[in-house]
Every structure is written in C-alpha cells, then in structure tokens.
Amino acid sequence: MADVSWKGWMLPETASVKPEVIGQVSGIAASFVAAGKQKHHKNMNQLAPIGICTYSRLDKLKLTIDALKRNTLATDSELHIFSDGPRKGDEEKVGKLRGYLETVDGFKKVVLNLPAENNQFQNTHMAHRNLTEMYGRSIFMEDDNITSPHFLEYMNKALAFYKDNRRVFSIGGYAPHGVFDKKASADVFFSRMFCPWGVGIWAESFQLFGDINWGEVFEREADNQRLIAELSYLGKHLSKRFKRWRDKGMKADQYHLAGDLLMTITMIKNRMFTVVPAKSLVKNIGLDESGLHSGVHDVRFDVPVDPNFVPKQFTAEAVASRRLCDEQYILNSYSKKQKSAIRFYYLLIREIKIRFSRSLGSSDAFLKSH
C-alpha cells in the first residue's frame, strides 16, 4: 500500500501556456506525424495523453469535455479527439460536431483527427492502440463518460504506480454500486473484467492483446468449455457474447465491436487484473441506445460520482476483490436487481460451477500457457 503523490513528476515546461488546436488531418496515422510524434514511448515523465472517440453525439460530447476540463490536470494534458467521418445522411450532424471541436480549449494541447471517410474500426480500436503505442500509455474515453474532477489525477498516478506490475493489465475509472468499503485499507480494487468506461492502459498491454491469435480463439478453441466457464463466472452476458461471435465469426476489423470482451479474454489468458477505484470516477450517460455499444437504459449502472473522493492509497498486492466480482457478475448476468436470498443462491451456484470446471483441468494451451 502506498500514498501516491506528484513528487518527482516532471511536467512539461509549456504546461502553463494556452492550449491550442494543432492539427486537422485526414487519417489516424497522419495525425501523429502532424503532431511531431516519434514512435516509441515519448517522454514517460509527462502526463498520459487523453483520447476521445466520437461520431455525431454532440450533446453528450460537450458534457464529456466540459467535465474533463474541470479536472485538476486538464491544463497540463494533451487531448486527442478522433472524429469519425460521416456515413451517408449524417454529414450535417458530423459537420456541426466538428465545428464545435474547433472551439475546444482548456488543455495543454488539442489534436483533432478528422478523416473524410467513415471507419469505426480505425476511429476506435486503432485510434486507441496507435495513441497508446506512440506515447507508451494513454487514457482513453468514449464521448459519453462524465468524469470526476480527480479522474485524470487518479489515472496518471495509477499508470505510474502499476507500470511495472505484471499482474495489472489496465486502469479503470468506473466502479459499480455496492463495492465501497469504509474499512478497506486501499482506495482501489482489482477486477477480473476490463473496464472500457475511462481506461488507462500501457503499450505492453496492447502487445499482449496482439499476441493472441484471435482466429483460433473464435474457431478452433471456441468450443473449449474452460474458457466459456471462466467468462460465465464473470458474467453470463460475456459468455453469451463470446458464443455469438463464435457462431457468426469475427474478422480483424471487427475488434471494436467486442473490445471489452476481447480485452477481458486477454486478461484471463495472462492472469491479469484491471485496477478500479473504490468509488466510481466515471458516470456513463450514453446507455440510451444512442451509441455503438449502448443498450436500453439500466438504472443499476447509474452511479453518482463523488466529487470529493480522491483515490490516494494504492496497493501492489494484486488480489481480486470478491465484493466487486460478485457485483459485476450480477450486473452482467441478470436484467433486474436481485433480492438478497436469490442473489446468494445465484452466487453459490456460480461458485460450484467454476470450482467443478477448474477441478477438471484443461488441455487447452490458450489457458494453460500462463
């Protein structure tokens, strides 16, 4: 356990200058050239760059950026916005959103990525991966993530604290209801699930993702019951999504459609965790069927953000939080809130099933190699 402070951090000399929009380019890769970046791992002493992917939800994007601007480290941070090109009929909506992007300020530097063509894969998955590999780590968000004023502080501290911890895959900003424990000695928990709602990640984690032969996972190894059992233990919806992709087949340019699932599988393979705050630092306002992954609004995911909560106590002991794991399972398995007795029964059955599955072992090299 450690109290992480900013002592020893070297902020850029230009951190106090007025932020400016420095690039309007066509294509994700070109933006890094225009911004003068050189691969790989640019100045790890600086704050992690922030990336936001967006399309046409101007109202939500404004709220997301307004909240981010109120962060304590906003003026010292670079913001990269990836605005996907319009599909037919959406030219006006995308044009209005890009007009707003021209006015964004409040950050050390703002980089606009404005491709002419529409390509969700390039504007989401590849944008995230390229930004991370260029700087060695990144903070990436969707355009419907309302953050605490201390979100960037938490992310940068955690990225620094856990950068050499081989059990930590990523840093998450969201935490569900019911996991805060006043008696806990740390302000963070370890989760077995990837958290896409405000994520801090290193280039090394993306390398682990890239090392997996996903074609084999969804073809040759998809019928392996051990992997499905591990996903079911985290949440029934995860294993159901995996089976759907197995049945329909997944291509490389479709990774963005199941990014959180694939990242979670990467974590399972490598026996790694996502660090999440004891209280959520992110509120998702896009659960209204308006976005790429948003479904019908579920109030159980509505978590108020406590503006006074600042995670300071971190622990290096990577042990999964049982309370968090149970809450995530219920949220990702059932559509309604469960009564205590029913909840206990479901969790008990889940535990019996996973213990039985693990007792059988597995010849699958995917899960046995680590």
Backbone angles phi, psi at 95, to 5 degrees: -60, -40
Based on the fold, state whether residues 181 and 317 are members of the same structural domain.
yes
Same domain? For 135 and 275 the reply is no
Contact by Cβ (8 Å): 180, 210: no
Query: Residue 36 pLDDT > 50, yes or no?
Result: no
Distance in angstroms (rounded) separating the CA atoms of residues 59 and 61: 6
Residue 249 CB contacts under 8 Å (≥ 6 apart), including other chains: 218, 219
Going by C-beta distance under 8 Å and a sequence separation of 6 or more, which residues neighbour residue 242? 222, 227, 228, 231, 261, 265
216 and 323 share one domain: yes
Residue at 216 is within a domain:
yes
183 and 316 assigned to the same domain: yes
Pick the range with the lowest mean pLDDT from 87-101, 106-120, 220-234, 258-272.
220-234
Is 366 contained in some domain? no
The length of the chain in residues reads 370
pLDDT (0 to 100) of residue 334 = 85
Please write the tens of the pLDDT for every residue from 177-219. Answer: 767 676 777 899 999 999 999 999 999 999 999 999 888 888 7
Residues 190 and 337 in one domain: yes
For the segment 137-159, the average pLDDT, to the nearest whole number, is 97
Which one, of 21, 11, 5, lies nearest residue 47 by Cα? 11
Mean pLDDT of 144-168: 97
Number of domains in the chain: 2
Does residue 98 lie in a domain region? yes
What's the chain's Rg over C-alpha atoms?
20
Full domain range(s) for residue 284: 163-360
> Per-residue pLDDT averaged across 240-257, rounded?
89
Helix (H, G, I), strand (E, B) or coil at 85: coil
pTM for this model (two decimals):
0.83
Residues 6 or more apart whose CB falls under 8 angstroms from that of 115 comprise 26, 27, 28, 83, 84, 85, 122, 123
Does the pLDDT of residue 166 top 90, yes or no?
yes
**Quick check: 128 and 170 in contact, CB under 8 A?**
no
Residue 12 has pLDDT above 70, yes or no: no
Q: In whole angstroms, what is the distance from residue 15 CA to residue 73 CA?
A: 10
Question: Is the domain of 128 the same as that of 196?
Answer: no
- Among 145, 149, 17, smallest CA distance to 70 is for 149
pLDDT band of 223, cuts 50, 70, 90 = low
The more confident residue out of 172 and 302 is: 172
- 369 domain-assigned: no
User: Do 135 and 252 share a domain, yes or no?
Assistant: no
Q: What pLDDT band is residue 14 in, cutting at 50, 70 and 90?
A: very low
118 and 195, same domain (yes or no): no
Same domain for 203 and 298, yes or no, is yes
Tell which of 143, 176, 203 closes a domain. Answer: 143
Three-state DSSP class for residue 274: strand
Percentage with pLDDT > 70 across the chain: 78
Q: How far is residue 100's CA from residue 184's CA, in Å, rounded to a whole number?
A: 43
Q: Indicate whether 353 belongs to any domain.
A: yes
Give residue 361's pLDDT band: very low, low, confident or very high (50, 70, 90): low
Shared domain check, 253 and 309: yes
Q: Are residues 67 and 132 in the same domain?
A: yes
The answer on pLDDT for 23 being more than 50 is no
Question: Rounded to whole angstroms, how far apart are CA atoms 244 and 218?
Answer: 10
Burial class from Cβ neighbours inside 10 Å (0-12, 13-18, 19+) for residue 284 reads: buried
SS3 at position 65: helix
| Residue 1 is assigned to a structural domain of this protein | no
- Let me know whether 129 and 213 are in one domain: no
